[in-house]
Structure 1
């Protein structure tokens, strides 16, 4: 927790052994807004309909659930009784609504999965006072160039990520200057969100920026679609 922002891990157990690939990310946004709606209906409506504070950006992050010890199954996303998902926001009002919303739940619904909560753990913010950080993502980073999704090996990837960071800084009233270097990337992946394709890759990036912006990004995520489960930072 830092500057009013929060990120936290929700440990959970799935009641089934697999999930359809088309459902890995699709439920993320609805779940986040549902948690917020139970605490702050006006905020949930604003985020869903318009964005936040006059900006189209939604300052919240959520990951798709990830499972340990799940045997790989061809054609489906394997699950287990030992899983986690993560949520966070750099905005105190959003962060507190998410945390309060999850505190009142014993189970969550993720498409066909019933997820039983086993615990909630706040995650501390690393020390970013040096003005630089290496961020590695759990879920693919979404970025676009000329209306097409691009991967970390694209020549404009670092520039588009820097541009996205400046937009986030402007919304939060933070210094926007930053410098991005791509260190490594996972393989290109395609996922569906309500049957619409999303193309991205996990990435490891080095970012130089104001410490407060690095703190905020750690709670928010990298790139586009963070409220849909993408760009969540380890």
Structure 2
């Protein structure tokens, strides 16, 4: 989260409970964080839990941009091929996990285009809110894995 005032928020997190627990334990004993050249006063922190996993149609919103590519080009929601390539990615993830493939992917809302440099290479994407019909076990796995590509770099993280 970005702010221009002296009172703002910094979010740290992980979809993996063990990592999130380590972050909470580390923050609990601090009253200040040094971030580059900035000293940030810790006034408090909160732990956000994941929503209950259900069977059938679910809505998922990302906290970070989703990366989707087609023919070497990064796509944004609304671009031709975005939904097809994101669904292809999700079907591949379900196949890797041995779970039923999701169906009926729809983009409900999209944030603005965001550009990041990761290891000197550009990444372009946007946060999204999607609906899909999926097996509850697959939805639980997606909450840890994320939507789209480059999830190991922090993209496509589901709130």
* Interval of TM-score (by shorter of Structure 1 and Structure 2): 0.7 to 0.9
**Alignment partner, residue 49 of structure 2:** 123
Q: Is the 8 A contact 1:139 1:232 kept in 2?
A: yes
Alignment partners' CA distance in 2, 1:141 and 1:134 = 15
Gap regions ≥5 residues in structure 1: 1-65, 73-78, 90-94
State the Cα RMSD in Å: 2.8
**Alignment partner, residue 86 of structure 1:** 13
TM-score scaled by structure 1?
A: 0.55
Change (3 A) 1:171 1:191: same
**2:23 aligned with 1:102, yes or no?**
yes
Q: Is the 8 A contact 1:142 1:150 kept in 2?
A: yes
Change (3 A) 1:211 1:139: same
**2:70 aligned with 1:149, yes or no?**
no
> How many pairs were matched up?
154
Alignment partners' CA distance in 1, 2:127 and 2:135 = 24
Q: CA deviation at 1:226?
A: 2.0
From 136, 151, 162, give the equivalent of 2:61. Answer: 136
TM-score scaled by structure 2?
A: 0.78
